[in-house]
């Protein structure tokens, strides 16, 4: 079975632009979460979606938004990009999204802001 | 609030010797705890999970971890290190209980394996 897939793998943008990152969960998984991993740090939680509804939001500005589609895939959007948004963006999926369910991660999208 | 503290930022072992990566947690209720591994330029792979069943948890690639409530610890061990174990390891607690599975990551331990 395919794992979590993310696209694109790498992306270079300039300050002020906007970006859309995409994620396809493991088949049968209904929950998708997004994390930001800045170089040298652990991932930080951005959003969780389950059955197309937002279940959780981390401490990120409103420039960050996300949505989940009927097929459970998800998009993360970031507007007005800042240099500090340069990071590895990770998507994770799980079956129900409850806290005892392990999450399975994709390989991430490496976003570089110039 | 939930949190985890990884006590070592770097650990170096020789191939064939035991591995110990230390993690303490803080939780206001019975936590779900995980260890993930991240190889360079890759995503995170789940090694093992604790969700209030057996306190000794066996994972993939020969890793195991023991949940000790009295010590609020969840240390990761492996009897014999392999070169392929060199990676960054994250101790993780699931964040808020119940309806969300927000993960809270430790700062990571970089494991080096010397030949």
pLDDT category at B95 given cuts 50, 70, 90 is: low
Which structural domain, as residue segments, surrounds residue A32? 5-113
Query: CB burial class (10 A; 0-12, 13-18, 19+) of residue B51?
Result: middle
Q: Closest-CA residue in chain A for B91?
A: A42
B21's CB contacts (< 8 A; 6+ apart) are B6, B8, B11, B35, B75, B76, B77, B89, B91, B109, B111
Q: Do B107 and A41 touch (CB under 8 A)?
A: yes
User: Does residue B7 register a pLDDT over 70?
Assistant: yes
- pLDDT level of residue B99 (50, 70, 90 thresholds): low
Query: Could you tell me which chain A residue has the CA closest to the CA of B48?
Result: A102
Q: How far is B98 from chain A (nearest CA, A)?
A: 6
CATH number at residue A54: 2.60.40.10
Token code pair at residue B66: 């023991």
Query: Poorest-confidence range of A51-55, B3-7, B98-102?
Result: B98-102
Structural domain count, chain A: 1
Tens digits of residue pLDDT in A69-96: 999 999 999 999 999 999 999 999 998 8
Distance set, CA B66 to CA A101, B59, B85 (Å): 19, 11, 19
Q: Look at residue B31 and tell me whether its pLDDT is greater than 90.
A: no
Give the residue numbers spanning the domain of B85. 3-114
The pLDDT of residue B52 is above 90? no
How confident is the model at residue A99, as a pLDDT? Answer: 66
Per residue in A8-48, pLDDT tens?
Answer: 999 999 999 999 999 999 999 999 999 999 988 899 999 99
Place of tokens 């779900």: B32
Gyration radius from chain A CA atoms: 13
Q: Higher confidence at residue A87 or residue B28?
A: A87
Q: Per the structure, how many domains does chain B have?
A: 1
> Averaged over B39-52, what is the pLDDT?
88
Q: Mean pLDDT across the stretch B43-52?
A: 89
- Closest residue in chain B to residue A95, using alpha carbons only: B101
Look up the CATH number of the domain holding residue B97: 2.60.40.10
Contact list in B for residue A48 (CB cut-off 8 A) is: 100-102
Is residue B2 predicted with pLDDT exceeding 80? yes
As a whole number, mean pLDDT of residues B61-82 equals: 95
- Residue A4 to chain B, least CA–CA distance (Å): 10
Nearest to A44 by CA among A31, A54, A33, A32: A33
B5/B109 Cα distance (integer angstroms):
10
Please report which confidence band the pLDDT of residue B77 belongs to, taking 50, 70 and 90 as the band edges. very high
Q: How far is B24 from chain A (nearest CA, A)?
A: 16
Q: What average pLDDT score do residues A53-67 get?
A: 94
Nearest neighbour of B90 by CB, restricted to A42, A94, A102: A42
CB-based contact A33 B32, cutoff 8 Å:
no
**Longest Cα–Cα distance in chain A:** 39
Chain B residues interacting with chain A (CB cutoff of 8 angstroms): 32, 34, 36, 41-46, 49, 51-52, 90, 94-108
Closest residue by Cα to residue A50 from A20, A95, A7: A95
Angle ∠(B19,B6,B86) on CA atoms, nearest 5:
40
Contacts of B41 in chain A (CB under 8 A): 110
Q: Convert A53-63 to b/e letters by CB count within 10 Å (16 or more is b).
A: eebbebebeee
Beta-bridge mates of residue B26: B3
CB contact under 8 A, A99 and B100: yes
Q: Which residues of A touch B107 (CB under 8 A)?
A: 41-42
Q: With 60 as the cut, is the pLDDT of residue A5 above it?
A: yes
| Token pair of A109 as six digits | 């999208």
Residue A104 contacts residue A43 (beta carbons within 8 Å): no
């Amino acid at each position: 079975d395919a794992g979590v897939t993310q696209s694109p793998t790498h992306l270079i943008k300039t300050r002020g632009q906007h970006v859309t990152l995409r994620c396809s969960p493991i088949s049968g998984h209904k929950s998708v979460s997004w994390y930001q991993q800045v170089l040298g740090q652990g991932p930080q939680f951005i959003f969780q979606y389950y059955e197309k509804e937002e279940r959780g939001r981390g401490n990120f500005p409103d420039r960050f938004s996300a949505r989940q589609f009927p097929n459970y895939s998800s998009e993360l959007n970031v507007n007005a990009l800042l240099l500090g948004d340069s990071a590895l963006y990770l998507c994770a999926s799980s079956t129900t999204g409850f806290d005892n369910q392990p999450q399975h991660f994709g390989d991430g999208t490496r976003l570089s802001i110039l | 609030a939930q949190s985890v503290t990884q006590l070592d930022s770097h650990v170096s072992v020789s191939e064939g010797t035991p591995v110990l990566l230390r993690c303490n947690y803080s939780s206001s209720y019975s936590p779900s705890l995980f260890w993930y591994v991240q190889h360079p330029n890759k995503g995170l792979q789940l090694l093992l999970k604790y969700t209030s069943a057996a306190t000794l948890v066996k994972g993939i690639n020969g890793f195991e971890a023991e949940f000790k409530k009295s010590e609020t610890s969840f240390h990761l061990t492996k009897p014999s290190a392999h070169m392929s174990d060199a990676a960054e390891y994250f101790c993780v607690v699931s964040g808020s209980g119940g309806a969300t599975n927000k993960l809270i990551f430790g700062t990571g331990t970089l494991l080096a394996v010397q030949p």
